[in-house]
Amino acid sequence: MITQRAFSVEPWTVRETELNLDVLAQSESVFALSNGHVGWRGNLDEGEPHGLPGSYLNGVHELHPLPYAEAGYGYPESGQTSINVTNGKVLRLLVDDEPFDLRYGRLITHERTLDLRRGVLERVCEWTSPAGSTVRVRSTRLVSLTQRAIAAVAYEVEPVDSRTRVVVQSELVANESLPGPDGDPRAARALKSPLEPEEDLASGSRLRLVHRTRRSGLRVAVAADHLVTGPERTTTSSESNVDVARLTITSVLEPGERLRVEKLVAHGWSGARSRPAMSDQVEAALAAAAHSGWWGLLKDQRAYLDDFWARADVEIDGDEEIQQAVRFALFHVLQAGARAEQRAIPAKGLTGSGYDGHAFWDTEAFVLPVLTYTAPKAAAEALRWRRDTLPAARERAAQLGLRGAAFPWRTIEGSEGSAYWPAGTAAFHVGADIADAVVRYVAATGDEAFEREVGVELLVETARLWRSLGHHDDRGVFHIDGVTGPDEYSAIADDNTYTNLMARANLLAAADACKRHPDEAARLGADEEETAAWRDAAEAVHVPYNEELGVHEQNAGFTRYQRWDFDRTGPDQYPLMLHFPYFDLYRKQVVKQADLVLAMYTCGSFFEEYFDEEQIARNFAYYEPLTVRDSSLSACVQAVMAARTGHLDLACAYTTEAALMDLGDLEHNTRDGLHIASLAGTWMALVAGFGGMRCVDGGLLFAPRLPERYSRLAFSVGFLGRCLRVELTAGQATYTLRSGPPLTIRHHGSEVTVREEAPVTRPVPPLPRRPAPSRPPHRAPNAR
């Protein structure tokens, strides 16, 4: 784990100024590059040493048996695991016959820099071989945001003080040796060398490998081309076999001379296309990249990111570490979804193998809100992927005896991949999270074509699930029993408040969408009788409330459970699920991650009648001492609601925890990949928390509160074709419409109309005075 600051604090870069092999895997995650389709971990160019090799194509996975002690009806039979595809990053170097390996010889300097504005990873180092030859190596790496299949490396070698013979071996490598998956030996066997060779080629400076996965039947093609610049005596040769294609470049360099290799790598995969078609596909992608050239790729990358930062940047004065962290967060959230294009956004993006590369509800609940207001096309594509997986979701619902669509708890290709049935079967709120993301996207963009072509079907099929899952009691109250909400320490509960309110919003949204799009409703067989039943269920949904305590219950009866004995829980016993049986957790008042608090944040915009400001304050004060944050999804939500209830110092602490989750390796597992949802939560904490932004009744509402730690907070959001800039300073908020027609918003309840180039400034009312809530012992925010 990272035990001290590993990266210098700078506003637009993440810089590592020395190489620490003990935390190499963590740095590889931080320095990962991706465009949502291709992902390259930040491995060293030479391939070794490494923490975890990683080259990923979004959606490429292998199947493996799922372990069960006892069989049960409806259990998924196969698990899905993303695999390490053909690695095109490798550029091995030999210096006077000595391998360039930083574990040997003497490393004089080593610096790597992730440039968030240019979208590149740069490296410069000096190394003296065991034989005494000193060389300087520079490299720049990118995964193109404009050419979806392309990643590229520019690699330079120069001798420092003497004539040096150098050899560069540029490779494509398949079936690299990897650490085995934990726990299940059957999975380890299934995933060992998952790529079966179909074609290998080495011709001149061009390399190509084509493989197919053994069980899932997916074909993967990777090709590379090179531009070599060096002294006249530079020579090249190429060769290939089933798992390696190699271009060998040999030169003799005098001090002041350089050998430069520009390597373009094209990637493609398909479950249906033939081997010749896949070969042609990657060759065509290489041709397009060669037309742009290395410098053209760099220029296009910068232009893409200039446009993104103009729409998405968040500026903070007063905390340089958070300024860096929020830009790092936005960059990686963008990378996770920018060119995913009808594929999932995994929980780790394409930065590591954690969670087997699966996507969860995190995508819709945490990541898509950020993308909706900063890169809406990416949000739409993620939802199109959900629409494309509807056949599997319908099949799963039918298997469970339900109507509509039951979306999976965790998946890569659309079927349920969880062997843990309290989540994999009972976490039905995933469907409502998807519906919420549809509603948010349409409200923010006005994209009626998307709603008609994609949104209506998602809303209808998820509404059908709720109507068949729930039931009316003899008093007409609608209940949804036996479900698992966001808090995984309270599984198989009745009337989870988050689930019920999200289901209510889903049912109403589906009925409204059918009214707006009657032709689509008719195509789906959703008639007036069915939509009326949805509305009846929504209006009658039960929301558990303890009248004596004056607080909402996380689920029915939660407030009567025995409280967890925090006094007898030591600091080394967190996370609790690794030290106590789930049975004990399920029946106690202890919360893994914000659940009822998340309901106030997400559903409060729809149902303000349940959550006025005083009710929110009481609920927050009740659940804060119970919430142990054994999930990286919790801190950002608690930050938002702490800010809303006036506890700004606490909100700052939670914001810092979310922001530094990976830069500080707070959960000691950044080596497996970044926490994309927690990174997205950094934006949520700042924009929805301190900025107080919510979308209510199709319009934007702001209730900003600036903590003393920050002297200024500014951010931009895209809304209905406009770009709105919000700037907070002590005691006031200024709204500037950067582009688009006039926009009417609400500022602390009062309407404000903003016009282009005519900023409007409004005062921020004083904070309410409330007692600070307590927290569980040993669970103060894990900040700096």
CB 677 within 8 A of CB 695: no
C-alpha 260 chain-centroid distance: 35
269 and 382 inside one domain: no
234 and 356 inside one domain: no
284 and 351 inside one domain: no
User: Looking at residue 492, what is its pLDDT?
Assistant: 94
Measured in degrees and rounded to the nearest 5, phi and psi for residue 176 equal -65, 150
Please state the three-class secondary structure of 440-461 as a single string: HHHHHHCCHHHHHHHHHHHHHH
97 marked ligand binding residue? no
Q: Which residue, 705, 727, 752, sits at the end of a domain?
A: 705
304 and 407 inside one domain: no
Distance CA 689, CA 578 (A): 31
CA atoms lying within 13 Å on the CB side of residue 748: 15
**Residues 159-169, mean pLDDT to the nearest whole number:** 96
Task: Could you list the beta-strand ranges (E) of 592-707.
Answer: 694-696, 699-702
Q: What percentage of the chain has pLDDT greater than the value 90?
A: 90
Q: How confident is the model at residue 582 (pLDDT cuts 50, 70, 90)?
A: very high
Please report the DSSP string for 303-343 in residue order. HHHHHHHHHH-EEEES-HHHHHHHHHHHHHHHHHHTT--SS
Give the count of domains, the chain.
2
299 marked ligand binding residue? no
CB 555 within 8 A of CB 497: yes
Closest CA to 88 of 286, 276, 273: 286
Residue 573's contacts (CB-CB under 8 Å, 6 or more residues apart) are: 579, 580
Q: How long a stretch of residues is the chain?
A: 784
Distance CA 297, CA 289 (A): 7
Instruction: Indicate the average pLDDT of the chain.
Output: 95
CATH number of the structural domain spanning residue 394 = 1.50.10.10
Distance CA 361, CA 407 (A): 9
CB 117 within 8 A of CB 12: yes
Residue 7 in any domain: the answer is: no
Please report the DSSP string for 681-734 in residue order. HHHIIIIIIIS--EEETTEEEE-----TT-SEEEEEEEETTEEEEEEEETTEEE
592 marked ligand binding residue? yes
Long-range contacts of 544-550 (CB under 8 A, 24+ apart): 544/495, 544/497, 549/622, 550/615, 550/618
Distance CA 151, CA 172 (A): 13
Strand 106-115 and strand 206-213: the pairing is unpaired
Residue 185's contacts (CB-CB under 8 Å, 6 or more residues apart) are: none
Closest CA to 433 of 364, 486, 387: 364
Residue 184 in any domain: the answer is: no
Q: Tell me whether the omega of the peptide bond preceding residue 49 falls within 30 degrees of 0, making it cis.
A: yes
302 and 380 inside one domain: no
User: Looking at residue 3, what is its pLDDT?
Assistant: 54
Query: Directed axis angle between helix 676-683 and helix 320-337, to 10°?
Result: 120
Token digits of residue 146:
């404009």
Tens digit of each residue's pLDDT (9 = 90 or more) over 48-77? 999 999 999 999 999 988 877 777 888 888
The burial of 510, by beta-carbon neighbours within 10 Å (0-12 exposed, 13-18 middle, 19 or more buried), is given as buried
CATH number of the structural domain spanning residue 97 = 2.70.98.40
Residue 763 in any domain: the answer is: no
Residue 378 in any domain: the answer is: yes
251 and 344 inside one domain: no
Q: Tell me whether the omega of the peptide bond preceding residue 575 falls within 30 degrees of 0, making it cis.
A: yes
Measured in degrees and rounded to the nearest 5, phi and psi for residue 745 equal -125, 180
Measured in degrees and rounded to the nearest 5, phi and psi for residue 485 equal -85, -165
User: Looking at residue 186, what is its pLDDT?
Assistant: 42
488 included as an active-site residue: yes
510 and 402 inside one domain: yes
Closest CA to 52 of 72, 11, 23, 74: 23
Residue 41 in any domain: the answer is: yes
297 and 365 inside one domain: no
CA dihedral 682, 687, 690, 696 (to 10 degrees): -130
Q: How confident is the model at residue 180 (pLDDT cuts 50, 70, 90)?
A: low
CB 217 within 8 A of CB 144: no
Containing domain of residue 277, as a range?
A: 13-62+83-176+192-311
534 marked ligand binding residue? no
Tens digit of each residue's pLDDT (9 = 90 or more) over 510-568? 999 999 999 999 999 999 999 999 999 999 999 999 999 999 999 999 999 999 999 99
| Buried b / exposed e along 647-663 (16+ C-beta atoms within 10 A) | bbebbbbbbbbbbbbbb
CB 145 within 8 A of CB 339: yes
CB 266 within 8 A of CB 223: yes
Tens digit of each residue's pLDDT (9 = 90 or more) over 226-247? 999 999 999 999 999 999 999 9
Q: Which residue, 705, 734, 755, sits at the end of a domain?
A: 705
Tens digit of each residue's pLDDT (9 = 90 or more) over 388-421? 999 999 999 999 999 999 999 999 999 999 888 8
- Assign 3-state DSSP to the chain and report helix, strand, coil percentages, each to 5: 35, 25, 40
Distance CA 717, CA 727 (A): 12
Query: Directed axis angle between helix 429-445 and helix 497-516, to 10°?
Result: 50
Residue 647 in any domain: the answer is: yes
Asked whether the CA dihedral 576, 579, 582, 585 is positive or negative, the reply is negative
Residue carrying the six token digits 């099949």:
395
CB 617 within 8 A of CB 650: no
Q: Which residue, 686, 705, 724, sits at the end of a domain?
A: 705
Three-class SS state of 168: strand
642 and 692 inside one domain: yes
Distance CA 424, CA 429 (A): 11
CA-to-CA separations, 547 to 472, 551, 552, 553, 578, in angstroms, rounded: 22, 7, 8, 10, 35
Distance CA 665, CA 604 (A): 32
Measured in degrees and rounded to the nearest 5, phi and psi for residue 221 equal -125, 135
Tell me: pLDDT of 187 over 50: no
User: Looking at residue 646, what is its pLDDT?
Assistant: 95
Distance CA 304, CA 146 (A): 7
554 and 580 inside one domain: yes
Other CB atoms within 10 Å distance of the CB of residue 328: 24
Q: How confident is the model at residue 1 (pLDDT cuts 50, 70, 90)?
A: low
In the chain, the amino acid numbered 615 is: Q
Please report the DSSP string for 459-473 in residue order. HHHHHHHHHHH-EE-
263 and 384 inside one domain: no
Distance CA 376, CA 368 (A): 8
562 and 660 inside one domain: yes
Three-class SS state of 778: coil
Residue 415 in any domain: the answer is: yes
The burial of 70, by beta-carbon neighbours within 10 Å (0-12 exposed, 13-18 middle, 19 or more buried), is given as exposed
Residue 289 in any domain: the answer is: yes
User: Looking at residue 618, what is its pLDDT?
Assistant: 96
Q: Which residue among 488, 520, 530, 667 is the active-site one?
A: 488
Three-class SS state of 770: coil
Residue 394's contacts (CB-CB under 8 Å, 6 or more residues apart) are: 404, 405, 461
User: Looking at residue 2, what is its pLDDT?
Assistant: 54
Tell me: pLDDT of 10 over 80: yes
Tell me: pLDDT of 188 over 70: no
